[in-house]
Amino acid sequence: MKPYAAVEGGVRLALRLTPRASRTGVDGITQDAERRPLLKLRLAAPPVDGAANAALIALLAKTLSLRKADIAIRSGETGRTKVLHLTGDPAALMQRLDAWLAS
C-alpha cells in the first residue's frame, strides 16, 4: 500500500514525522492504528514555532520539484501524523513520489 493517493487537483500524502532527528531522511512506510499506510520521515528541525513543518515543506518542495505554495498541511499541523495536499498533476506527482521512495 502506498501512503499517497490521487485526489482532485493533486495528491493526498499521509506521513508520520519525527522531528529533532540526528539527520533528515525517509524511514520507509508504516501503518497507523487503523492500518492506513504512512510515510515515515525524520527531520533534523525541532518542533518549535513551526520549524519542523517549514522544514518538511521545504524538503518535499525540493525533492518533488514543487513550489512551497503547492504543499499544504491539511491536518496534523501540531502533531506527528500529518495529511498533506500536493497541488499539481496527480499522475506526475505520484510518479515523482514513486521514484523518490524507490531511491
Question: pLDDT tens digit string along 13-25?
Answer: 999 999 999 999 9
**3-state class (DSSP) for residue 28:** strand
Mean pLDDT of 53-72: 97
Residue 51's alpha-carbon distances to 9, 20, 82, 96, in angstroms, are 27, 10, 15, 25
Question: pLDDT tens digit string along 66-94?
Answer: 999 999 999 999 999 999 999 999 999 99
CATH number for the domain that contains residue 35: 3.30.1200.10
CB atoms within 10 A of CB 18: 15
Give the count of domains, the chain: 1
Containing structural domain, residue 48: 4-102
Output the pTM of the full model: 0.93
| Cβ 63 vs Cβ 28: under 8 Å | no
